[in-house]
Each structure stands twice: as C-alpha cells, then as structure tokens.
Amino acid sequence: MSTVVLVTGGSGLVGKAIEHVINTEPESSRFGKRPGEKWVFANSTEGDLKDPVQTEKLFEKYKPTHVIHLAALVGGLFKNMKYKLTFLRDNTLINDNVLHFSHTKNVQKVISCLSTCVFPDKVTYPLDETKIHDGPPHESNFGYANAKRMVDVMNHAYKEEFGCNFTSAIPTNVFGPHDNFDLEDSHVIPGLIHKCYRAKQNNTPFAVSGTGKPLRQFIFSYDLARLFIWMLREYDDVEPVILSVGEEEEVSIKSVADKIVKTVGFQGEYKFDSTKADGQFRKPASNKRLLTLMSQNKNEQQFKFTPFDEALEYTVKWFVENYNKGARIGKVA
C-alpha cells in the first residue's frame, strides 16, 4: 500500500517548511521523500476543518495513511486574550474532527502540533514533556492552550480504546519564510523584521517593545520540518516530544533585534521602549528527550540545528524579497 501523507495547515509557516524540506532533501534520505510517497498540503480552502462534513470529504478525497496535523487558529497575545472562546472552540472542533476521521478512516499515524503555550503558568523550569497537565495555563491564552492540551488527552484515549498511533509535537517559538509578518498580530521575530523594514522604508525610528532583555528559544521552521519528518518515520509513542533547540541556545530579544537591524541594513534611530511589558524573563524548554530519541538510530548522524544567525538572515532576506510578492504582511498603513 502506498503512503499518502496529509499535512493539514499546509499553507502556513510550518506547513510550507515541511513542503520545502520534503521537496529539497535528497530522495530516500532521512528527511527526503520516499519512493511511492505522496504528500498533500491542504489549507482551509480545501475544507474547513471546523466542519465535520468538510473534514470527512477531505479525508475521502486524499485517503491519507498518515497525517501531520498543523491546522489551527493561531494568533498573538492580543487576539488570544480577546477571543478566548473562539480559540477554545475553533481549535477543539478542528482537532476533534481531524482525530475522529483519522480514526474512522484508518489512518496509520497522526502527529498533531501543540505549543509550549500549553504548559502551566506556574511551573518549574526547564519545561519538559511530563509537566503539561501540572496546573492551569497562563490566563492570556487559556482558550488556545486548553484546546491544544486536549489533543494529548485525546491521543491517550484513542490509544487506550482503539490502539491508535496518535502523538503530538511541542515546538517552541518558530520562525522562517511564509510566517505571518502582520505588524499588529504576529510573533516577535516576524513582527520585528517587518517593523524594522518599514522603519527603513519610511525613515522613522525602529522601536522595540520592552527592554530587549528577555531570553527565548527559537526554532527555524526548516529544522522543525525535519523533526516532524523524523517523528513521522521514527517515533511511535503517544507521549509528546518537545521539538526545540537546547536551553543553552536561548537568545535575547536585543540580540534578535540587533541582527535584524544589520541584515535589513537599517541605519536610523534604534531604541527599546521599556514602558512596554517584557513578558516572562525566560521560559526554557528541555530538548533532552528529543536528542535521546534521535540518537537511538545509530545509522544516522547527530541532528544539527541551523545556526540561529544564519536562519534569521535567511528569513529576513526571504521577507525583503517577497514583500511585494505574497508575503503575509497584513494591513500596512
């Protein structure tokens, strides 16, 4: 039987990265396409996954044997705070439909995408896979986080009741080509890239919110894509895996902004607005489990993450080249 991998959310940051990797890695290599394998990258125009009828149609159309489930209502802090019920309900419906039809249509394996936002607000660091349900998530993303947590609960229930091979991945902050670069509602890296680019265009100051001191772990979308492909091929357990660079790879927001300023070639006034909130100083996640699992395959070399500076430079250049060619820049005044 041939393999059909359905990637839901295939038009997003992570979906586009998986498409790039599967089409550019050497065929039959660890992360490359295998003979006879078909990859389908679906977006919402192929079917609204909130709707069971449309979800079933999508599964009937492609008959997937494997699913990488990325589709989600995703948003920045403001949107998450304002639309808690919508984030909870939309993501719950999407996840329930995808897992239900994966089960009823006999999909062999599903990897769903969680996020480090699912972890409790009050938790000991570093985060690891055992701490997901140890307390309530931060109230700002209560809807999104609880919907995502339920995927882990459902994965265990599907395994116990029906023996399904469903699992989940927990990426830290992702960045790369095809990100959402909206000025109002984006994650920190794409937001800063767009802001700095606009400041250069308009000859205005580049103001970074907060002190620039907080530390974060960022994963390049192409590295994350390789790790999803690894999970699809080499990981068969229900327990989630944190997909992240190591804790020692944390970078400050200031060093991110410095690098963006340099790559964009911005020479105007560059400042930090310390009247704006910094958020948590750091929230490191451990990638020990990931590295241990990957190293069990003695036939393969140790996984190498793309150096952060190289990945950031690549992303900035992609944004500049695609600014007028379909990059998701949102509404620009």
Ligand X SMILES: NC(=O)c1ccc[n+]([C@@H]2O[C@H](COP(=O)([O-])OP(=O)(O)OC[C@H]3O[C@@H](n4cnc5c(N)ncnc54)[C@H](OP(=O)(O)O)[C@@H]3O)[C@@H](O)[C@H]2O)c1
* 43 touches ligand X (CB under 6 A): yes
Task: List the interface residues with ligand X, window 157-186 (CB under 6 A).
Answer: 171, 173-174, 180
Whether the Cβ atoms of residue 297 and residue 234 lie closer than 8 Å to each other: yes
Task: Output 57 or 200, the one with its CB closest to ligand X.
Answer: 57
Task: Output 230 or 266, the one with its CB closest to ligand X.
Answer: 230
Residue of minimal CB distance from ligand X?
A: 12
Least separation in angstroms between CB 28 and ligand X: 26
* 190 touches ligand X (CB under 6 A): no
* 14 touches ligand X (CB under 6 A): yes
| Single residue of 113, 192, 242, 312 touching ligand X by CB under 6 A | 113
**Options 144, 197, 222, 235, the catalytic residue:** 144
Phi, psi of 323 (to 5 degrees): -55, -45
Both tokens of 118, joined, read 């699912």
Task: Output 96 or 199, the one with its CB closest to ligand X.
Answer: 96
* 15 touches ligand X (CB under 6 A): yes
Task: Output 5 or 199, the one with its CB closest to ligand X.
Answer: 5
* 50 touches ligand X (CB under 6 A): yes
First to last CA, the chain: 52
Task: List the interface residues with ligand X, window 70-99 (CB under 6 A).
Answer: 70-74, 94
Active site residue 144: yes
**Residue 10 CA to chain centroid, in angstroms?**
12
Determine the Cα–Cα distance for residues 172 and 37; give it in Å rounded to an integer.
29
Least separation in angstroms between CB 150 and ligand X: 13
Both tokens of 146, joined, read 């609880």
Active site residues: 144
For ligand X, the binding residues (CB under 6 A) are 9-15, 43-45, 48-50, 70-74, 94, 113, 115, 171, 173-174, 180, 187
